[in-house]
Every structure is written in C-alpha cells, then in structure tokens.
Structure 1
C-alpha cells in the first residue's frame, strides 16, 4: 500500500491540472509554439538504507512544444511537452574525523555515478499576466525517462572500509532503465510580439520508480531520483 499513495496523489494532481487546462469555459485560444530549452540539474538519489551524498551537477536540454487553449479570467491555460537529454546520478559523501573530533568531508575519496536519460515530461501550463508581456506560470505533470548510458568514477576509495550499503552500489549496473515520476515548478516568461518568448524556470522531479530492484529479497527498499532543474527556454509561435 505504501507505493500506491504516490500514484494516487500524482493522478489527482494531473487530473486537476488537466481539467483546468482543457475545459473550454473561458476565452478560446489556439496558440502553438515550439522551441528549445537548456540548463543544469542538481541531482541526488533517495536510498533506503541511506547513502550520504553531495549534489551532483549535470546538464539538461532539448525540444519544447506548447499549446495554449484558453484564457479563463486571469489564468492562461495550456499544455506543454518536452523531449530532453538529462544527466542524473549521485556523488557519494565520504567523511573522516576532523581536528575537533567532528566528521568532515574527505576530498581524497571520490565515487560518482552518472546516468544519462531521455526524458519526456507532459505538463499542464497555467500562467498569469499579460498575453504580450510578462507572465508568471506554474507547470505540473507526469514524466517518463529512458536510461541511455551510465558511468562510474572511483578514486582513492578504500574498499575494505566500505559498509554494506556502499558496497551494494559499487559496480552494480542499473537494473530498471525505465523511469517515471511527477515534476513541477514555476517561472517567469517574457512574451514579445515578434521575437518570441523567453523563459526562466525552476523545476523539481520526484521519481516514483526505482532504478535498482527493490523487492524483499533485494538490498535496497528504495533507489529513486530527485532532481532540481534550472533552465532557460526560447519559444516562437507557429500558430497564433
């Protein structure tokens, strides 16, 4: 039952946003835009049992398509889909006793796992502001991803001092290459008459799937991505 609750929450959120974005009860619009996006990911992984980590930075970028269907009072409603390349993974935090007896980071030991995905988010788009000018918006919806590559970097690690949790990931290939979850965020958009739209956005992705097997006989009970993305997008209108 524990794993059912995130699906129910995601389903309710998606249903609510979709109804808001598609119900034709406001002023109809038919604005279709396409463009490109790019930015950075700040990645971590939720492990159970836990593994201490630093944020791992990666890149993200790809193609964006958006359709604005209506304006309902002050709210501009639509839907957006993207096809992105996205770098995820984790950077393990090693600690040693410091001068005062406190645990401090040991920079001589390095373990990072980088994972490359093709991501496809399906987003409800709700914006507030001028149709030509400055807008504030929120995005929310499901996201799927497909693992296309992975790599490990190990330097200076004393394998004899690793605990069982750390040993469980070293050299272990990703077992589930299909990834899915929910994503959402918000930002600011400047819509111009002739030059297109310029967008700054922050977004968070919460994976509902695990990339390692998590049955009772497996070591991990959870191994899932959590990613903060900061990105820029440029769109131009194909249909106004």
Structure 2
C-alpha cells in the first residue's frame, strides 16, 4: 500500500512537471499564437482496478465534450502547446461470471457518469498549416462523479463469485484524479482540423474508502478510448 501511494505521487508530479515545462519552453523556440476550440466524442472500454481483485470484463462506454487548444511555439521540428477539455464520460465496470447457475442467469454492471477535465501538454510533428500531423497528448486529469446506477440480473442469494461487497455499496468519493495520455493524427484543412486519437486513462485515486478497516484497498478507473475531434482556429 505504501509503494502504491509513493507511485501515485511520483507519477502525478512527473505529469504536472511535463505539462508546465512544455508550455514554458515558448521562450526558446519560434513563437506561435494559435488558439483553437472545438468538440470531441468517442467510445471507451472501461474497467476498474480492485484490490482484492474482482474478475471483470471490459464495459463499453462513451465520451464527448469540448476542447480548447493553444499552440505557443515551434521548437525545431516539434510543435508545442497546451490543451484543456471538459468532457462527459460514461464509465464503470462489468463483472465476469464464468460459472452461471442453471436457470438463473446472473449479471452485474455498475454505470458511473463523470465530468472529466484533462490538462494536457500537446506535442505535434508535421505540417503546421495544411496537411497531416502526428501528436502526443499527456497530462493530469480530474473528474467529478455525477450519477451511479446498478444493473443486476438474476437471484444473487447464493452468488458463485467470492466477492460481492461492492454490490449495493455506494461510491464514497465523488472526486477523482489520475493521468492520461494519447497518440493521434490530425488533418489540417481549410474547413478546420480533424483529429483521431487513442487515449489511456490511469486512475490514481480510489472511489471507495481505502483505510485499514475498509474492505477495498484499491478501486480506481482504467479507461481506453478512441475519439474524434473537430477544431477550428480562432486566433492565428
């Protein structure tokens, strides 16, 4: 538990340092002042890292929201900037039940909706104006739980899985944080900028209490998403 907490602090500090150091390099490279806004949306595969471990399958979700990006400089071949988003995201977990009872199909899914705000360093390589770029986004992310809902099928009076403490248990912590990173391509055209990105989110905080008296010592989100974005330039 001590090592996990140390790991959380180290990763969080590194991502923050990376974000702010990237933006501060604007004094070294060729200055740019390109501000863009737009929308994004996509699908996600969601799971939760539980300890004690619970056997889960990937739960399909979705995400969508608004994007603002500022390009501050070109440093040799690297285009540098910062990006912030405000997204709605459906997450949660779906339990995998291998030994289904006869005449009693069991299923359990927890749907959790969040407002999430990633603060990203944006690094790109390629055409500045018209053409294609390859980019990397990396930085910290915070989130706020809006709603949660259980979907339960079957009679769970004699469950075939060893851990059911999560069933009926409300979320303890509505605020969360973690790190996120993505790799993508951008096509810059006269009609705007079109982006395709694959992204991974690793939760550093737990949504259940994790003291010694609590059952779960770890309960954090893990999200893989693919998203499309459209940005248009406001200030060049």
TM-score (norm 1): 0.92
Deviation at 1:229, TM superposition (A): 1.0
1:112-191 alignment, distance < 5 Å: 112-132=109-129, 133-163=131-161, 165-166=163-164, 168-191=165-188
CA deviations 1:180-204 (Å, max 9, x no partner) are: 1000011000012x21100000100
Query: Are 1:94 and 2:97 matched, yes or no?
Result: yes
Is this contact kept in 1: 2:36–2:68, CA < 8 A? yes
Query: Are 1:204 and 2:206 matched, yes or no?
Result: no
Deviation at 1:139, TM superposition (A): 0.5
Tell me, in whole angstroms, the C-alpha distance in 1 between the residues paired with 2:152 and 2:48.
18
1:1-240 alignment, distance < 5 Å: 1-2=2-3, 3-23=5-25, 24-96=27-99, 108-132=105-129, 133-163=131-161, 165-166=163-164, 168-192=165-189, 194-240=190-236
Tell me, in whole angstroms, the C-alpha distance in 2 between the residues paired with 1:126 and 1:159.
53
Is this contact kept in 1: 2:203–2:222, CA < 8 A? yes
Is this contact kept in 2: 1:181–1:208, CA < 8 A? yes
Divergent runs of 4+, >4 A: none
Tell me, in whole angstroms, the C-alpha distance in 1 between the residues paired with 2:155 and 2:58.
19
Question: For 1:83, what is the secondary structure of its paired residue?
Answer: strand
Question: For 1:190, what is the secondary structure of its paired residue?
Answer: strand
- Once structures 1 and 2 are overlaid, which stretch shifts more, 7-16 or 39-48? 7-16
Tell me, in whole angstroms, the C-alpha distance in 2 between the residues paired with 1:25 and 1:196.
28
Tell me, in whole angstroms, the C-alpha distance in 2 between the residues paired with 1:28 and 1:157.
64
Question: For 1:173, what is the secondary structure of its paired residue?
Answer: coil
Deviation at 1:157, TM superposition (A): 4.0
Structure 2 stretches lacking a partner, 5+ long: none
Is this contact kept in 2: 1:139–1:186, CA < 8 A? yes
Question: For 1:19, what is the secondary structure of its paired residue?
Answer: helix
RMSD: 1.6
Deviation at 1:163, TM superposition (A): 4.7
